[in-house]
Amino acid sequence: MSPNEAAGRRRAEEFRKEHDLGLAAVKDVFELVHSTTGIDVLSMDAGDEEHGLSMRDPATGRTVIAVATTGNPLRQRTSIAHELGHVLAGDLDRPAGGAPGERTPAEKQADTFARHLLIPLDAVGARVAPGQATVAALSALVQEFEVSPHVAAIQLKETGLIDPDTCQEWSRLTAPMLAAEHGWLSQYRSLVADSTQPRAPQQLMARAVAGYHRGVIGLTELALWYRQEPDELAPELGVPAASEDDVDSDDVWDIDAPLFPPPAL
């Protein structure tokens, strides 16, 4: 492992320790990033070649991570963790280097961070005994930690449980293949259903709901942001559905304030 990759691993292990994650699987990476760092994560429809990016508002210092909706939920999780790796490494404070898609040292370090955040080596060692690394064990790791077979195979190799040739062979397997073969295809399909739907950023939506309650935006507009019908959203907000939205344009709520305001000091 290169010093650059070692730095990514160390940062992931420190993050897990700081936030008491132990060796447990992270089931909701969106929520983990938001609850631990205050960074909003959103998913949106984008081209198949798009995975994720991190953005910082120069006016407020607020950082947002955006990932693409996809039928590959395990890739989406890794993309979020990868972008978090960039943020924690301070990459957003440095000029972007390299051409788009180039595997720069920063990109490789973020990859390593994501891998060790989502499936720590100690967790692999605790679940797979020496000599017991089988395709069934690989499937169990993919299922529990919700990472790709490629990522799980690398971690098995890093722990010395499989050799490089086996790692290369298992990396060609796909999660749907493992899920179908080992009986958890329904779980995988549930993950796909979630990852193909846009997910609104939590802080932005909380601000939008506050605006609705103050009469600044209407129920119809709010429902559009949540991608559902007003009559479906109304009972979830505990308000009666209305055929017409009443919006008070004179409300003193500051509609021009940043959607992602800086954290309170």
The pLDDT tens digits for 119-136 are 999 999 999 999 999 999
- On whether the CB atoms of residues 223 and 230 are closer than 8 A, the answer is yes
Q: Rounded CA gap, 14 and 121, in Å?
A: 13
Closest CA to 142 of 122, 170, 161, 163: 170
Q: Rounded CA gap, 113 and 87, in Å?
A: 11
**Domain-wise residue ranges, the chain:** 3-195, 200-265
Q: List, for residues 199-211, the tens digit of each pLDDT value.
A: 888 888 888 898 8
Residue 96: its pLDDT value, please?
Answer: 66
Q: Is 147 left (phi over 0), alpha (psi -120 to 50) or beta?
A: beta
For residue 67, the surrounding DSSP H or E stretch is strand 63-68
pLDDT at 241 over 80: no
Other beta carbons within 10 angstroms of residue 169's beta carbon come to 13
Q: List, for residues 24-46, the tens digit of each pLDDT value.
A: 999 999 999 999 999 999 998 88
pLDDT at 51 over 90: no
Which of 91-95, 113-117, 193-197 has the least mean pLDDT?
Answer: 91-95
Which of 17-31, 75-89, 190-204, 227-241 has the least mean pLDDT?
Answer: 227-241
Other beta carbons within 10 angstroms of residue 198's beta carbon come to 14
pLDDT at 78 over 60: yes
The tokens of 71 are what? 């039928």
pLDDT at 260 over 60: no
Q: Rounded CA gap, 72 and 123, in Å?
A: 23
Higher pLDDT, 82 or 206: 82
pLDDT at 82 over 90: yes
pLDDT at 254 over 60: no
Q: What is the mean pLDDT of residues 189-194?
A: 97
Q: What is the mean pLDDT of residues 107-117?
A: 97
Residue 251: its pLDDT value, please?
Answer: 47
Full-model pTM:
0.84
Closest CA to 253 of 202, 214, 200, 205: 214
Q: List, for residues 125-181, the tens digit of each pLDDT value.
A: 999 999 999 999 999 999 999 999 999 999 999 999 999 999 999 999 999 999 999
Q: Mean pLDDT for the chain?
A: 88
Residue 45: its pLDDT value, please?
Answer: 85
Q: Rounded CA gap, 117 and 158, in Å?
A: 14
String of DSSP letters for 172-222: T--HHHHHHHHT-HHHHHHHHHHHTS-B--HHHHHHHHHHHHTTSS-HHHH
User: In which band, very low, low, confident or very high, does the pLDDT at 239 lie, cut at 50, 70 and 90?
Assistant: confident
